[in-house]
Amino acid sequence: MAGTIVSAGASRVAWAQAYPTRPVRILVGFTPGGSNDVYARLIAKWLSERLGGQFIVDNRPGAGGNIATEAVARSSPDGLTLLVNNSSDTWNATLYDNLRFNFIRDLAPVATIARGSCILVVNPKLPVRSVPELIAYAKKNPGKIAVASGGIGSFPHMFFELFKSMASVDMQHVPYKGGSQAVVDLLAGQVQAYFSPQNLVIQHIKTGALRALAVTGAKRAQALPDVPTVGEFLPGYEASSWWGVEAPKNTPPEIIGKLSKEIAAALADPGIRSQIAAVGDEPFASSPHDFGKLIAEDTEKWAKVVRAANLKATD
């Protein structure tokens, strides 16, 4: 029996060392060009070069990323199907009814790639210059401030809902089909505020077309060091986005370990780091264990926000 166990263990290690023996599909739950797609292609290229196999990006957009997530959750745990996802999966668990998979139970964390935050910006015609002034104005004018988002369940929407709850203010949510149109209407004054991804508004902030009030993450943005965090005025507020790689549950730990090691090496590479910084995010390396802990904590955190706001997905 002992010999059989040793033989099986040696065989699995040898398999992991030879991995990948066939092309690996990296599923992305969003259309080409978005952050998930960009990071998937960045990692696919790196892994292909380092491991000597083909890592191919497979875009399967729809249902807030759930189509791709479910496909990976139902795939064979052989390391040949991976997922590049983001923190939206942690609130999708509550936002969507009747999901046919459990994000925590059915997927195995491999490694994080990057993290970022949004910037709370307002149209300069809104008479506020700080988070405290925004909160005070909103309380004096309930329901009068229209806050844009890229759609229900998007980063800007969830970060706004957390702010709305913690600040105890009544502000109107205006969902768009994407961030670009939200910025157009914000510049035109059709809406007054937006928790925006940095890359969409950085130039408008520098020209004065938009006013930056705060950054949603735990620390200030490198590109805007003079802009405070929301948490400096609203203690306990922190809203960050992250991107990572996951595999089907029960994928051999030797394969997960090999992938995690190579992704960590990628995030230490100056070229990769500069490409991540170019889109306004920062490299974020973590072990499979720490990634799993982050997922569990964020799932609990955002479930409370979704339930408190009584949110439901529309697609």
pLDDT tens digits, 159-180: 999 999 999 999 999 999 889 9
107-156 pLDDT tens trace? 999 999 999 999 999 999 999 999 999 999 999 999 999 999 999 999 99
- Residue 16 tokens read as 């992991």
Domains 2-116+242-309 and 117-232 share a fold: yes
Strand partners, 213: none
At residue 101, the 3 state secondary structure works out as coil
Measuring CA to CA, how many Å separate 59 from each of 69, 82, 252? 11, 12, 25
Beta strands in the chain (DSSP E): 24-28, 55-59, 81-86, 107-122, 146-149, 172-175, 193-197, 211-215, 240-248, 282-283
Sequence-separated (6 or more) residues with CB below 8 Å from residue 119: 195, 196, 197, 198, 201, 202, 205, 212, 214, 215, 216, 221, 224, 227
**pTM metric for this prediction:** 0.91
User: Mean per-residue pLDDT for 40-60?
Assistant: 97
Structural domain boundaries in the chain: 2-116+242-309, 117-232
Count CA within 13 A, CB hemisphere, residue 295: 27
Contact 71, 40 (CB under 8 A): no
Rounded CA Rg of the chain: 21
Give the domain 117-232 fold.
D-Maltodextrin-Binding Protein; domain 2 (3.40.190)
Name the DSSP letter for residue 248.
E
Strand partners, 149: 175
User: What would you measure as the largest C-alpha separation in the chain, in angstroms?
Assistant: 77
Measuring CA to CA, how many Å separate 160 from each of 48, 146, 217, 223, 263? 38, 11, 13, 22, 32
User: Mean per-residue pLDDT for 262-285?
Assistant: 95
Identify residue 148 by its one-letter amino acid code.
A
CATH architecture of 2-116+242-309: 3-Layer(aba) Sandwich (3.40)
55-83 pLDDT tens trace? 999 999 999 999 999 999 999 999 999 99
